[in-house]
């Protein structure tokens, strides 16, 4: 099938090239009624003489034939040039300034032949190739021959060289010619020198004046001026020939109806003796070639883009299918995309949206509610999907969200979870609404449940699962407020025997990420990264506020963990604003904070493993020892010489309940 598709693409390309090739035309077709001569110069399409009939030639290519049989070209109303040659094979016209005399080497061009003059002339359709610039300079004092660093110039004694009598005022001046490929600047001239004239010069047969600069004389410069300057009408012929032929009705009407073989002249495909009806067909094609290109080229370009797009996405699909085939009978239910649409009632009830996709509420055929995460475009080649299915798809724990099923159908991917009616924990931590408040006792139960869930991921499975994104938004609550760890999009599976994990880049959410993910030499990345994230979660659960709050009443309260530590160290009571808090509630809050301070220690070796964290949460607060003061990243950089990890970091942030990760790459400065 793929070979057939490639052959089809090849045929389309060949057809396009043929159409593009046939589009080229030339000015070779003859019309004997318009052909004329001025001296030895043949005048025919696209050129014309002023005395020719209106249907001959092209107005902007008009020449004049003087009584002395010299052909004159006007680039402006006053700039006159003698035409030396018109070559209809190479599509070139060569002309010389009328003031340049053969036997007088001191004769200079009267008109400055510049690119501006060419562009503003009647023959602006003509263009020049292989040009050099000649600059005529006159100086009061002689100039050293090697003065110009970027230009070569040759001084000449114009009296001895040119044998002409100059006026007395010029006898003490010196004349020079500067030959250059670039424009000369006034700042390049020596003092008391002035530019008299500039003009373009054509290099012939790649023998430029610059290439022969070591043996160059002024006579060489004069001979070059005398030979003339050349413009090409090649492109004009290829683009306008058919229009000229039909408009002027100059196709031959005699009984010579044949089309010659194709011939190339300077890359222009030519037709000789085109009959009128073929010229007419040519013009029809010229007007319709864009339509033809759209008809043939449009599907080709569209097909090519679809092919590349499908190749990229099929690669992701193949990776996912290969993974699913290796999992055997351990997989959850596989749904079709039509099943997903039925479950969600055509995606009617939207719960939230994030960087990895959109979450909808649905109902299974059994009547059970479910949350369906419809994954969006992924830059990880399906790795986020594989991570989710490969972790929670094979484990079952009361504190880990259950994956009921999944959908992989072409580019469409979806995950079906058990529905959590109470949403995520962040709604209860940072909300000022009374209806969303949770008691201190219930908050403690939630913290203990989350700890059990993380501990199960670290030690209860055949493979150790590192979550790397523990935070309030990823803790879901069922109808009884039993916590469930969710969102395993950036989780990593590793052998239980390995305590150290190799990562190509840091991952997680700013504010919950362990410092070893940012800074080298603090410690190796391991399951202790989840312990740190859990500690930051505990801090927010105890304080019912973000750990970093720029709007705190006092500057010392901006970073909550440091402020709480100082309060405990000084033996002060922490008032969290809870109305009628009991002594037992204060003890629970203090215990949660002390355990959190142990979890957020800077170095991984100083943090307890999760099974020890559970033991500490179940102990009496009096038996817990206050850990060392937790340090901020800024303090670490000031106190220690630590290199910053420059690997890309996958940062995740959240806004809505049930929304998924918003992922982006940044470089750590």
Residues marked as catalytic: 469
Dihedral, 521, 525, 528, 530 alpha carbons, nearest 10 = 130
Distance of CA 130 to the CA centre of its chain: 36
Packing angle, helices 276-326 and 383-392, rounded to 10 = 20
First to last CA, the chain: 50
C-alpha to C-alpha distance for 82 and 91, rounded to whole angstroms: 18
Distance of CA 312 to the CA centre of its chain: 17
The annotated binding site is made up of: 373
Residue 602 makes CB contacts below 8 A (sequence gap 6+) with 515, 522, 630, 631, 636
H/E element holding 374?
strand 369-375
Q: Is 572 exposed, middle or buried (0-12, 13-18, 19+ CB in 10 A)?
A: exposed
C-alpha to C-alpha distance for 253 and 276, rounded to whole angstroms: 7
> Does residue 516 contact residue 501 with C-beta atoms inside 8 Å?
no
Q: What are phi and psi of 267, to 5 degrees?
A: 70, 15
Distances (CA, A) of 300 to 6, 16, 21: 11, 10, 18
Nearest to 272 by CA among 257, 253, 255, 289: 257
> Does residue 488 contact residue 397 with C-beta atoms inside 8 Å?
no
Question: DSSP assignment, residue 442?
Answer: H
Q: What are phi and psi of 553, to 5 degrees?
A: -65, -35
Residue 19 makes CB contacts below 8 A (sequence gap 6+) with 289, 292, 293, 296
Q: Is 261 exposed, middle or buried (0-12, 13-18, 19+ CB in 10 A)?
A: exposed
What 3-state DSSP class applies to 426? Answer: helix
């Amino acid at each position: 099938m793929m070979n057939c598709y490639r052959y089809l693409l090849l045929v389309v390309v060949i057809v396009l090239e043929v159409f593009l090739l046939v589009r080229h035309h030339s000015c070779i077709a003859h019309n004997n009624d318009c052909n004329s001569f001025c001296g030895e110069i043949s005048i025919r399409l696209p050129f014309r003489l002023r005395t020719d009939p209106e249907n001959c030639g092209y107005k902007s290519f008009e020449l004049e034939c003087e009584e002395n049989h010299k052909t004159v070209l006007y680039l402006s109303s006053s700039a006159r040039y003698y035409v030396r040659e018109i070559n209809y094979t190479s599509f070139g016209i060569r002309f010389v300034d009328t003031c340049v005399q053969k036997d007088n080497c001191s004769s200079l061009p009267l008109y400055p032949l510049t690119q501006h003059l060419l562009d503003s002339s009647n023959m602006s359709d003509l263009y020049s190739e292989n040009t050099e610039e000649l600059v005529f300079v006159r100086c009061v004092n002689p100039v050293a021959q090697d003065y110009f660093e970027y230009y070569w110039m040759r001084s000449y004694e114009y009296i001895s060289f040119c044998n002409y009598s100059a006026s007395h005022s010029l006898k003490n001046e010196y004349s020079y010619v500067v030959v250059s490929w670039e424009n000369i600047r006034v700042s390049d001239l020596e003092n008391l020198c002035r530019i008299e004239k500039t003009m373009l010069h054509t290099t012939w047969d790649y023998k430029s004046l610059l290439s022969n600069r070591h043996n160059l004389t002024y006579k060489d410069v004069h001979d070059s001026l005398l030979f003339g300057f050349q413009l090409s009408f090649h492109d004009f012929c290829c683009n306008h020939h058919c229009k000229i032929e039909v408009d002027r009705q100059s196709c031959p009407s005699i009984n010579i109806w044949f089309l010659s073989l194709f011939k190339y002249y300077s890359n222009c495909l030519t037709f000789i003796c085109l009959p009128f009806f073929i010229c007419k067909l040519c013009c029809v094609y010229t007007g319709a070639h864009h339509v033809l290109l759209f008809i043939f080229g449009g599907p080709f370009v569209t097909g090519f883009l679809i092919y590349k797009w499908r190749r990229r996405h099929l690669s992701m699909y193949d990776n996912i299918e290969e993974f699913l085939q290796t999992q055997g009978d351990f997989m959850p239910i596989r749904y079709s995309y039509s099943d997903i649409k039925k479950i969600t009632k055509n995606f009617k009830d939207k719960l939230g949206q994030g960087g990895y996709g959109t979450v909808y509420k649905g109902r299974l055929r059994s009547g059970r509610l479910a949350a369906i995460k419809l994954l969006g475009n992924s830059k990880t080649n399906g790795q986020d999907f594989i991570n989710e299915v490969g972790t929670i798809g094979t484990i079952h724990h009361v504190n880990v969200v259950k994956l009921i099923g999944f959908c992989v159908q072409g580019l469409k991917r979806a995950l079906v979870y058990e529905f959590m009616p109470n949403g995520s924990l962040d709604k209860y931590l940072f909300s000022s609404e009374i209806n969303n408040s949770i008691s201190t006792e219930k908050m403690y139960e939630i913290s203990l449940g989350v700890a059990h869930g993380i501990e199960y991921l670290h030690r209860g499975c055949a493979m150790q699962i590192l979550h790397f994104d523990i935070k309030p938004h990823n803790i879901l609550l069922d109808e009884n407020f039993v916590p469930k760890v969710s969102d395993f999009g950036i989780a990593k599976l590793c052998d239980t025997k390995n305590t150290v994990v190799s990562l190509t880049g840091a991952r997680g959410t700013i504010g919950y990420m362990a410092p070893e993910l940012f800074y080298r030499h603090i410690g190796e990345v391991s399951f202790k990264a989840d312990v740190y994230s859990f500690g930051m979660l505990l801090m927010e659960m105890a304080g019912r506020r973000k750990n970093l709050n720029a709007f705190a009443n006092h500057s010392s309260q901006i970073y909550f963990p440091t402020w709480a530590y100082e309060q405990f160290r000084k033996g002060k009571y922490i008032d969290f604003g809870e109305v009628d808090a009991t002594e037992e509630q204060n003890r629970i809050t203090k215990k949660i904070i002390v355990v959190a301070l142990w979890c957020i220690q800077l170095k991984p070796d100083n943090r307890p493993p999760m099974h020890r964290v559970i033991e500490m949460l179940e102990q009496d607060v009096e038996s817990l020892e206050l850990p060392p003061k937790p340090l901020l990243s800024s303090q670490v950089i000031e106190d220690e010489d630590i290199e910053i990890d420059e690997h890309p970091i996958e940062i995740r942030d959240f806004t809505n309940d049930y929304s998924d990760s918003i992922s982006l790459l940044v470089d750590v400065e």
